[in-house]
Each structure stands twice: as C-alpha cells, then as structure tokens.
Chains A and B, each alone.
Chain A
C-alpha cells in the first residue's frame, strides 16, 4: 500500500516564494525583460546616482560642440525634453490625450515676449517674468482642462487639437490690435535677466535650461511618489474606480493639465529668451508630433525615457539637415543597416541579404547603364566621402522625371507588403526593397530633408504603436479594453 505523503504545513510565504508557482509569477517581469538587462541594471541604480550620472553626461556638452550646434542640438534637446516631461504628466500619468499641448509652449513664449521686450516697452526682469509665465500657463491649462470633465478620451483629443489650432491662428493670423505681431511675431525679445545678470550666450541658456530640466525632473519624480502621483496613476488605470476610492478625479485631471501647461510655458519662456523672437510658425503640428514622438519613444510614464527620446529625436532631426547631405547620407545608411542587422537573424541570412542587395544594386546599375546612358549619369547630391561609390551603385538618372516619385510610392507599398511576408519570401523580397530604399533616398529624399524627417516621424509613430507601444524605457502595460 502506498504511503500517504506527509503534506507539510503551508510554508511561510512571507519571505520566500513558493517554489514553482510563486517564483514563476515573481520572475515574470524579469523574464519578459530578458532582452533589456541593461534596463534592469539601470533601474537598480539609486535615483540620486542616476541624476548625478545624467548631470555628468550633460553638463560638459557645451565644451564639446560649437555654438551653432549647441543651439540646435543641445539647447533644443533640453527644451524638447522639458516639453516631454510636461506632456508626460498629462498623457503618461493622467492618461489625458492633449493634442493642443504645444499651444502652452507657444503661450509661454509669447507671454514672455510680450512682457519682456520693446513691444509694449515692458522689460520685465527674469525673476518676475518667469513666475508670471508659469502661473499664467497653469491657469490656461486649467481652463483647457475644464471641458475634460465631460469628455471621453478621443473627444478630448479633438477639442485640445482645436484649441491648439485656434491658438496658432489667433496668434499668427488674427493679431488683435497688434498684440501678437501677426505672422512676423514679436522680435527683439529681451534675454533672461535675473537681478541684472543677463544670460546672453547659448552656453548660458543651455545650462540654465538644463538646470530647470533637472529641477523639474526631480520635482516630478518626487511628486510621483506621493499621494498625488498615485492618484494620477490610479486615474490613468481606471478613473471610475479611482473616484470611488475617494480620489477627486476631476480635480486631478485639472491639476495634470495645469502642471503640464506650466512646464510647457516655462520651456516656452526659455525658448523666447534664447531665440530673441517668437513667431507662430514654431508652435504648430510638426512640433506637436515631435514631442509626442519623444514621449512615446521614451515610454509614456517614464521620466528618464523622455530625455533619451529627446536626444534620439533631436539628433535624428539634425542629421537630416540640408547643409550636410554627406553626413546625412552616412547616418541614413547606417540607420538602415542597423535596422536590418537588428531584425534579420541568423547572421548567415543577414549576410545573404546584405550581399544580395549589393550585388543586386550593381547588376541593376549595369543594366540601366547599358540600356541608356542618361539613366545612370546623374550626380548624387555631393558631399561626403562616398559620393563616388554611391554613383556606381545606385541608379541616378540624369533626367529623373517622375520616376523617383513613383519609386517612393512603390517603396511604401513594398514595405507594407514586406510586413505581411514570412520566411524566405521575406528575405528575398528584402533585397530589392533595400535597393529601392537607396534609390529613393538618393533621388528624392536627400533633396528634401525636412520633409523626409517628418515622414519618418509619422511612420515612427505608427510603427511604435504597433510594435512597441511602451517605447524604449516604459514598462509594458496591461490594459482592460
């Protein structure tokens, strides 16, 4: 007769998980984060140390870049990061899709420009102007948040989008009584002036903006670990349950709006002072998309993710600058290469694809050249070391006509089809597609970098939502739909 096993008392689960089941549950996070070991180590570093590392990395930047680069790369990266922080409060923490967010940035910029410039001859000093701008922006945020009480998510998105558009319109086109300077905006904005100390150099603005960023970052970090932060997160998770657990949901929403708006206004203020003028064109939808790309790329709800996202986006923004097609070309091909390397495994297949693309290219080029001389006699947009090599590989017709445009449409379709293919079909289709990418790039994209960058952002948003909605540093969320 088999012995009835002696079932032990339920073990004390207080400190050690039950072997098997509980351990599996407890290690769930670690397992799903397998490929992000770097992230895990990062999270284990205490926050003060992280802040210090960040500071060490970012403070010396002005010594590494020339002034022009500092302005466009450095300062704007910080400003965008600051905007991203604010948007993160509204969208990432309270879960309110605010598509008019940039209007707060513009509002802050214009308000500062109005009170600290020859426009009305008020030259309010920095230490007074900044609090005014911040408080005023918060109030505007409150106002915008008022309709949010009665609106479901997507309606709120549209209403805020409208407000954003209305702002641009109001400021740029209607220009009531010359308040906002119309299409030309307001010139000659004063530099920031604290008790007589003027910030006049880009370095100064960079460090000032960086300091502001760190202060806001620390403040938000602290706020998140308080009852307000928890209430915001609860609001995002389930607004009804949050309300029934005693959290005043409407008030919290308004607070989120106001906070986000205040941060944006502050950023706008710094922008206006550093740029020396404001015009409505800077505050329109392209910037909105950029900031959203930053927040989503970095991961909604992740504070440091915002900074990472800002850096990535700003750098990619500036890569595609019209003045340096050479660098742009190198970086573009590198990026494509990186994408291919990342997605194609194992390395044998990768080698086949890359080799195939190169060979394919030369073959096509040779055939095209044989068919018609003018098909390959065009010149690549010059610049950079690889121009010669490129001209021998990519077909660059002397008189392209409409072909590049059709090629672009073809490329979009090809990429879409690629996502539907599997296995060797996909691998083989990848080869001509890669060549097509190069063709389109050389013949049309590199010519219009600003448009290209916006196209890429649009595509990035779509791809992120589908493939990795939590962004780079966010944690994957479980949602009740």
Chain B
C-alpha cells in the first residue's frame, strides 16, 4: 500500500480547472519529484494534500486512510509536513522557537497545566526542546549554538530554507513535502540541498515528495519523477524517461523544440 495516494483528484477555481483527474502515489521510503512548467499545478497539488483546498472530485489517502477535506492541522498531525515555495517562517520568533512550535500536535499539555507548570508539562517542554535541537543539528553547525536564540529574520536566505525544513521535520511526519527547496540558491548551496535531501531519507527515514525546477537536483535525488502540465499528469517514471519524454519537452520548451529534436 502506498504511503500517500491521490486517486482521480480534480480541483476547479471558478472557471479554471487547476487539477484534472490526477492520480499519483508515493511509497514509503521513496523520493518522488514533481516537475512541470509554472502554473502546472504543482503547488496546488501540495495545497490539496495538506488540506488547504479540498478536492472537488477524487480522493487522497494517507496510510490507507482518506485525508481529503480534513482540516490542515489535522492532516499535519496525521503526518504530512511541508515547506513553502515563498518562505513562511515565524520571523519574529527565534530559530529554536520556530522548530519547537511545530512540535505542538504531538504534545498534550493543556492551558491549565502549562500555567501551573506541572512536572509533566515541564518534562514535555524539555522533550520539545531536545527535539528542536536535534532537528536543527541535522544541518551541521549552521543552525546551532548561539543561532538558536536569534530571531528568524536575522538568518540568511539559505539558512531560512534550512530552518523551514527543520521545522517541518519536527512534526515527525510520515511524508515530507518540499516545495522548491533549492529555489534561489547558488550551485554550492544547491549541491548541499541535494545531499541534504538524500540525508533526510537515508538517516532520518523520511519519505519525500519534492517540487523542483532545478533538474540537477531532480536528477540527483529522485527515485521517480512525475511531470505535470495544466493540472494533468503527462509523464511518470525514472528521471531519464521523463526528461526525454516528448510531451514533457514540449510543455517546457514548446512544440518547436520537439520538432527540431
């Protein structure tokens, strides 16, 4: 059984069909990349999976259970975590607090216990802190030490992207959705991200669904690639198969390109 499965999902905004009869699946432990030209519906796909939109038709299943139409925080609690194409950090909170915030769904201390600071609540706080430190440690020294208490807005762009990934992993997700993790990065940073994604799977055992434009990254990480265009799946398979697929080339470069190929 696939970890995440979309079956014949469709979504419409007014008169515009943004997702059209889309079916795809991600198995446990896989890294799947989603590619496609701008406007193909890739981020919308993420929004559907995370519950920002509910599908008009079709079903979305996580671990065999349907998550279509559930509230986003419920879906997050069930194990779907994401990063954002345009960063959405909690800028005025510290680095550590950003990650600790995401530990919310798996903790239980209520308002009363928090105010009084029962031993149980304090133990939980320590655990949350440890979790955050651990997750931040995944990125080497970049987000460690004195950085923990820096406000998030003081981080460099690349560090902000890393922080967002760290925050997402604090949700202890079953599947991690990364939306253009390498956007705006120079070649060295891109290489790092590629390795990092691999590390996320190897060392932390995450299943990952990635939206990416940079084909180097896609090539370097993917077990499978799914290509979208105008809300439809136009190709699926290994990187080489999809990259050379004429429909995919046409979607990116236009008919002229395929004609001359």
Bitwise, B198-225 to A at CB < 8 A (1) or not (0) is 0000000000000000000000000000
Q: Which residues of B contact A219 (CB under 8 A)?
A: 115
Instruction: Encode A293-307 as 1/0 by CB contact (under 8 A) with B.
Output: 000000000000000
Of residues 214 through 239 on chain A, the ones whose CB sits less than 8 Å from some CB of chain B are: 219, 222-223, 225-231, 233-234, 237-238
Known: A13-B144, A244-B52, A247-B73. A227 touches B150 (CB 8 A): no
Q: What CA separation (Å) do A14 and B101 show in the bound complex? A: 23
Question: What range describes how many residues of A lie at the interface?
Answer: 35 or more
The answer, among A14, A233, A246, A255, for a CB contact under 8 Å with B90, is A233
What is the minimal beta-carbon distance from A235 to any residue of chain B, in angstroms? 9
Cβ–Cβ contact B150 & A26, under 8 A: yes
Asked if A234 meets B93 with Cβ closer than 8 Å, knowing A13-B144, A247-B101, A478-B153, the reply is: yes
Residue-by-residue, is A70-108 near B (CB-CB < 8 Å gives 1, otherwise 0)? 000000000000000000000000000000000000000
User: Does B102 belong to the interface (CB within 8 Å)?
Assistant: yes
Which chain A residues lie closer than 8 Å to B114 at the CB level?
A: 222-223, 226-229
Given known pairs A25-B154, A219-B115, A230-B93, the reply for A246 and B141 (CB within 8 Å) is: no
Given contacts A13-B141, A25-B150, A246-B77, contact A226 B125 (CB under 8 A): yes
How many residues from B make CB contacts under 8 Å with A? Answer: 50
CB distance from A65 to the nearest CB of B (A): 32
* A30 shortest CB reach to chain B, Å: 12
User: Is A429 interfacial (CB-CB < 8 Å)?
Assistant: no
Residue B130 at the chain A interface, CB threshold 8 Å: no
* Minimum distance in angstroms from A6 CB to a CB of chain B: 20
- Among A13-54, those with CB < 8 Å from B are 13-15, 17, 25-26, 28-29
Complex Cα–Cα for A136 and B172 (A) = 38
Instruction: Judge whether B258 is part of the interface by a CB distance below 8 angstroms.
Output: no
Interface centre among A226, A227, A478 (most CB of B within 10 A): A227
How far, in Å, is A382 (CB) from chain B's closest CB? 52
> How far is the CB of B6 from the nearest CB of chain A, in Å?
18
User: Is A222 in contact with B115, judged by CB distance below 8 angstroms?
Assistant: yes
**B73–A480 CB distance below 8 A:** no
Tell yes or no: A477 within 8 A of B by CB: yes
B104 proximal to A (CB < 8 A): yes
Task: Tell which of B101, B124, B128 touches A242, judged by Cβ atoms closer than 8 Å.
Answer: B101
CB-CB nearest in chain A for B77: A246
- Shortest CB distance B154–A (Å): 5
Tell me the complex Cα distance, A61–B137, Å.
Answer: 51
Contact A249–B73 (Cβ < 8 Å): yes
When C-beta atoms are compared, the residue in chain B nearest to A219 turns out to be B115
Query: Given A237-B92, A244-B82, A245-B76, does the pair A230, B101 have CB atoms closer than 8 Å?
Result: yes
Does B88 touch A at the CB level, under 8 Å?
Answer: yes
Give Cα A234 to B100, complex, Å.
10
Complex partner residue of A14 from B84, B106, B111, B144, CB under 8 angstroms? B144
**Is A286 an interface residue when CB atoms closer than 8 A count as contact?**
no
- Name the interface residues of B52-97: CB closer than 8 Å to any CB of A: 52, 71-73, 76-77, 81-82, 84, 88-93, 97
Cross-chain contact A230 with B88 (CB below 8 angstroms): no
Instruction: Collect the chain A residues with CB atoms within 8 Å of residue B115's CB.
Output: 219, 222-223, 226
The number of A-B residue pairs with CB atoms under 8 Å apart is 126
Q: Would you call the interface of chain A mostly helix, strand, loop, or mixed?
A: helix
Report the bound CA distance from A478 to B155 in whole Å. Answer: 12
B7: CB under 8 A from chain A? no
Known: A227-B114, A230-B100, A245-B167. A28 touches B154 (CB 8 A): yes
With A29-B151, A227-B104: A241-B141 Cβ-Cβ less than 8 Å: no
- B107 with A13: CB separation less than 8 A: no
A12, CB-defined interface residue at 8 Å = yes
| A15-B73 in contact (CB<8A) | no
Q: Using an 8 Å CB-CB cutoff, how does the interface string of B134-164 with A read, 1 for contact, 0 for none?
A: 0000000110111000110111000000000
Q: How far is the CA of A473 from the CA of B59 in the complex (A)?
A: 51
Q: In whole Å, how far is A357's beta carbon from the nearest beta carbon of chain B?
A: 42
- Residue contact A227 to B153, C-beta cutoff 8 Å: no
**B121 CB-CB contact with A under 8 Å:** yes
Please report the C-alpha to C-alpha distance between residue A25 and residue B110 in the assembled complex, in whole angstroms.
36
B84 & A223 in contact (Cβ 8 Å cutoff): no
Is there contact, CB below 8 Å, between B97 and A233? yes
CB pair A245 B101 closer than 8 Å: yes
Is A118's beta carbon under 8 Å from chain B? no
Residues of B within 8 A of A (CB): 50-52, 71-73, 76-77, 81-82, 84, 88-93, 97, 100-107, 109-111, 114-117, 121, 124-125, 128, 141-142, 144-146, 150-151, 153-155, 167-168, 171
Top 4 A-B residue pairs of the complex, sorted by shortest distance between their CB atoms: A246-B105, A226-B114, A246-B76, A237-B90
- What would 24 A/B residue contacts be, using CB atoms closer than 8 Å? A15-B146, A25-B154, A25-B155, A26-B154, A29-B151, A226-B115, A227-B100, A227-B103, A227-B128, A228-B111, A230-B101, A231-B101, A233-B97, A241-B89, A243-B76, A245-B101, A245-B104, A245-B168, A246-B102, A246-B105, A247-B101, A475-B92, A477-B91, A478-B153
Could you list which residues of chain A lie within 8 angstroms of chain B, going by C-beta atoms?
10, 12-15, 17, 25-26, 28-29, 219, 222-223, 225-231, 233-234, 237-238, 240-249, 255, 475, 477-480
Besides A28-B154, A228-B110, A238-B89, 19 new A-B residue pairs in contact (Cβ under 8 A), listed by A number: A17-B146, A26-B154, A29-B151, A223-B111, A223-B114, A230-B93, A230-B100, A233-B92, A233-B93, A234-B90, A237-B89, A240-B88, A241-B84, A241-B89, A244-B51, A245-B171, A475-B92, A477-B91, A479-B91
